[in-house]
Amino acid sequence: MTNKFNIEGMSPLEELEKLQELLNDLQTDRASVEIVFDSLKNAYSIHPEVGSDEADKEICRAYDDLMAQVRHLDRSLKRLDKTMKMTEQKVAQTKQLSPS
């Protein structure tokens, strides 16, 4: 499996395109988290006194799914931050090497 955050060997334009692609993916991930969160919030507001074991289990599963998606989003954001820092360093090195 290739690392979608790997930018080694890319031109500056390719790096920017890759960063845009990663940002688009993160937007999709964020939207997924929002959908699950809203579903969970709505389910609880409809049945705030949930007495059914099955309903309680369903809410717990939805909460677990939400937390898994939040953790995934957090890891992706950290990787994107690292990738952006690598790009910044690469640009700074290129500026130092190029004649003024």
Q: Where are the domains of the chain?
A: 31-45+53-75
Whether residue 74 is predicted with pLDDT greater than 50 in this model: the reply is yes
pLDDT at 3: 61
Q: Would you say the pTM of this structure is higher than 0.95?
A: no
Give the burial string for 45-69 (b: 16+ CB within 10 Å, else e). eeeeeeeeeeeeeeeeebeeebeeb
Rg (CA), the chain: 20
pLDDT at 1: 44
CA 13 to chain centroid, in Å, comes to 22
Each residue of 26-48: pLDDT tens digit?
999 999 999 988 888 887 776 65
Cβ atoms 38, 9 nearer than 8 A: no
pLDDT band at 59 (very low <50, low <70, confident <90, very high): confident
